Amino acid sequence: MKASNGNKHTLADSGYTAWLSYPVLPQGNAYNQYVKWCGAVKVAEENDTVQAALQEWQRGIESMLGIKVSSKPDGLCIAIGTFQGGNELISGVFAEDTLAKVGPEGFAIRSSEENDCIAVGASSPAGVLYGVFHLLRLIGSLQSIEGLDEVVNPVNGLRMINHWDNFDGSVERGYSGRSFLYEDNRFTRDLERIRDYARLMSSAGINAIAINNVNVHALETLFISKYLPDVSRIADVFRLYGIKLFLSVNFAGPMHEGEVGTADPLDPEVRKWWQSKAAEIYAAIPDFGGFVVKADSENRPGPFTYGRDHADGANMLAEALEPFGGIVIWRCFVYNCKQDWRDRKTDRARAAYDHFKPLDGKFNDNVILQIKNGPMDFQVREPVSPLFGALERTNQVIEFQIAQEYTGQQRHVCYLVPQWKEIMEFNTYAKGEASPVKHIVDGSLWGNRYSGIAAVSNVGNDKNWTGHLLAQANLYGYGRLAWNPELTAEQIASEWISLTFGTDPVVSGVISRILLDSWEIYESYTAPLGVGWMINPEHHYGPNVDGYEYSQWGTYHYADHRGIGVDRTVKTGTGYSAQYLGSNAEHYDSLEECPDELLLFFHHVPYTHILHSGKTVIQHIYDAHFEGAERAAELLSMWTSLKDKVAEGLYLQVENRLKEQAGHAKEWRDQINTYFYRKSGIEDNSERVIY
């Protein structure tokens, strides 16, 4: 069976409609149940967002069920709206205590025979939208809509996407074409695409988007002045879908854009400049989200220039935004990027903690620190940043990278939800035994005013948004996980597959396996055992074992002919392991206890060191790389089994990428194995070909 609507819609066939493709559902009991309820819809609100929800509902139902949705119910129907929607239509369906449980962005949903409807109600129009997307998702994945009676609130307050799009149309670490927001230093006029993007984001649960790169160049510095009308037009589109717009700002703005001779955060002129700037912005965009700031990081300007600290810098901006309800998101990606590779005592992994731990409690309460998930930089494997747990009195969000900078650049498939899940479940021991990262991130552990998740976007102007079609699963999965970290990676994959490809269980089984195995596979043929960074400098694609070994970036593996790894222990190394709390510190510090997959992150060991797996380090390297390349080739053959089951356009896109991956995985295998064979002189005990 061909995927149901693959050939009907070129947009769907290109991947453009993504998980809002609404594939035609198969006939059967579920279908009949949906038709029973969904023939009509009731809405009694003119609010734009509620109307957008209604449109989405009609589009989805008409596509999936092939029926017209009437707005004049005669029998069962779907009723959507806010509780305050001007009549009893919605609130009357729910019990009082149900209403009380619905948060500002949450919704309640109830299938009520006595009211002749399934009601989707919310406190806010955005909640209505989320509820409608929820119900569409249930239908799209063939779940029952009878007997529904639940309240759904997002677990995380801030569910954010960071774009690294530049005004010239390039995208820093973009692997899906160019920007669809900008080209040639002007705003694109393709508001239709931006609206479709907002629909996708909203349906995945995103409520905040920063539209420009954290490295704010000369012209982008003017987004908060000259280009404000353009920014405002995008904010209008986002608003419709419950999304707040944020801007990355240049800390040196008062000097570059303004005419203040300094950017010193304690200078009254500077403070005044930002205050009046905030007023200007909010005059144009009343619900503007706030600023994202990369300061004193990788050569960006910041408070250090003036002998001030990060709290001084962030609080100054926070003061300016506070009257308008805005927030400052201050990135913690601060480290010495001019390190001497000869210096083994300086440890980039320590940097974020060393910089920000002493400032705990010093930030205003509309400042949020944005902390990368690991201490280095989005490697395929690294430990969780020890800042999680260390900051007790500071708002914080975790930063993930949906863009696959270090995980195959959307030319290899690497479904990242399992990685993010593992990080979110990591127990920090910050407040007793049960202190997982997810409870820091959702604000519950310390009771923060603001908290949540941010991630670097993986979209561009490629027709299918993400270059690799399967990379859409990361974008979708990120949003879903941000909404509810309790969802499993399997659940999310399964949802995404149904919504994108339809409900054929064979298709679902194969793609699900491809996705769920992909991270492990990618890890197995790239840098081994958590050591990271064996990549080509600058563009970061493809193997290069010594690519960063003699560089200034603080990213070394120290391989010699006896062994490899970075000694980050307390007694003989950089002492990084002591930044962890409770048993984590001892666990990582101990050669015996350290988990295999992070061994080389924490310890320098001989190639003959025996892992918990029973293999030596060198044999593990050989085995993992041979197996990894083989499994990458298997991904391709798994996919080709779907040739007649997936719409041709989608099929071919993925086939091409998986072919490249299979070939490139061999290149990884051979370069890594050859490097270590030449260096160690130790033979592979299976006598496979190493060059």
**Given the rule CB under 8 A, which residues bind a copy of itself?**
341-342, 543-546, 550, 559-562, 670-671, 674-675, 677-681, 691
3-state DSSP assignment of residue 496: helix
First to last CA, the chain: 45
- Name the catalytic one among 347, 405, 504, 523: 405
Q: How far is the CB of 668 from a copy of itself (least distance, A)?
A: 10
Which residue's CB is nearer to a copy of itself, number 306 or number 341?
341
Q: 537 CB contacts (<8 Å, ≥6 apart)?
A: 544, 547, 548, 551
- Take residue 39 and report the two structure tokens written for it: 């023939």
> How many of the other CB atoms lie within 10 Å of CB of 341?
16
The angle that helices 617-640 and 505-525 make with each other, rounded to 10 degrees, is 150
3-state DSSP assignment of residue 337: coil
3-state DSSP assignment of residue 338: coil
Which residue's CB is nearer to a copy of itself, number 72 or number 342?
342
> How many of the other CB atoms lie within 10 Å of CB of 297?
20
> How many of the other CB atoms lie within 10 Å of CB of 443?
20
Strands (E), 585-628: 605-606
> How many of the other CB atoms lie within 10 Å of CB of 691?
9
CA angle 155, 492, 162 (to 5 degrees): 60
CA dist., res. 543 & res. 531, Å (int): 13
Q: How far is the CB of 538 from a copy of itself (least distance, A)?
A: 10
| Of residues 244, 183, 180, 252, the one with CA closest to residue 216 | 252
- Name the catalytic one among 113, 298, 392, 593: 298
Do residues 180 and 461 make contact, with C-beta atoms less than 8 angstroms apart? yes
Do residues 603 and 569 make contact, with C-beta atoms less than 8 angstroms apart? yes
Q: 286 CB contacts (<8 Å, ≥6 apart)?
A: none
> How many of the other CB atoms lie within 10 Å of CB of 68?
10
Catalytic residue check, 287: no
Do residues 13 and 130 make contact, with C-beta atoms less than 8 angstroms apart? no
Q: How far is the CB of 528 from a copy of itself (least distance, A)?
A: 17
Which residue's CB is nearer to a copy of itself, number 670 or number 684?
670
- How far is CA 249 from its chain centroid? 21
Q: How far is the CB of 679 from a copy of itself (least distance, A)?
A: 6
H or E element in which residue 247 lies: strand 244-248
Q: How far is the CB of 678 from a copy of itself (least distance, A)?
A: 4
Residue spans of alpha helices (H) in 611-691: 617-640, 648-680
Look up residue 241 and give its amino acid.
Y
DSSP code for 306: G
Which residue's CB is nearer to a copy of itself, number 614 or number 691?
691
Q: How far is the CB of 549 from a copy of itself (least distance, A)?
A: 9
Catalytic residue check, 192: no
Catalytic residue check, 88: no
CA dist., res. 588 & res. 73, Å (int): 63
CA dist., res. 631 & res. 623, Å (int): 12
R_g of the chain, CA atoms, integer Å: 26
DSSP code for 605: E
Which residue's CB is nearer to a copy of itself, number 304 or number 558?
558
Q: 621 CB contacts (<8 Å, ≥6 apart)?
A: 528, 529, 672, 673, 676
Q: How far is the CB of 354 from a copy of itself (least distance, A)?
A: 24
Task: Work out whether the CA dihedral 217, 246, 179, 477 comes out positive or negative.
Answer: positive
If you write DSSP's letter for every residue of 257-303 in order, what string do you get?
TS--S---TT-HHHHHHHHHHHHHHHHH-TT--EEEE--SSTT---G
Strands 149-152 and 107-112, by their bridges, are: antiparallel
Q: How far is the CB of 633 from a copy of itself (least distance, A)?
A: 18
Q: How far is the CB of 683 from a copy of itself (least distance, A)?
A: 12
Largest interatomic CA distance in the chain: 80
Q: How far is the CB of 671 from a copy of itself (least distance, A)?
A: 5
> How many of the other CB atoms lie within 10 Å of CB of 185?
14
Which residue's CB is nearer to a copy of itself, number 92 or number 537?
537
CA angle 109, 110, 114 (to 5 degrees): 155
- Name the catalytic one among 377, 462, 504, 623: 377
Do residues 492 and 477 make contact, with C-beta atoms less than 8 angstroms apart? yes
DSSP code for 109: E
Which residue's CB is nearer to a copy of itself, number 650 or number 672?
672
- Take residue 401 and report the two structure tokens written for it: 């990278």
Which residues are designated catalytic? 298, 377, 405
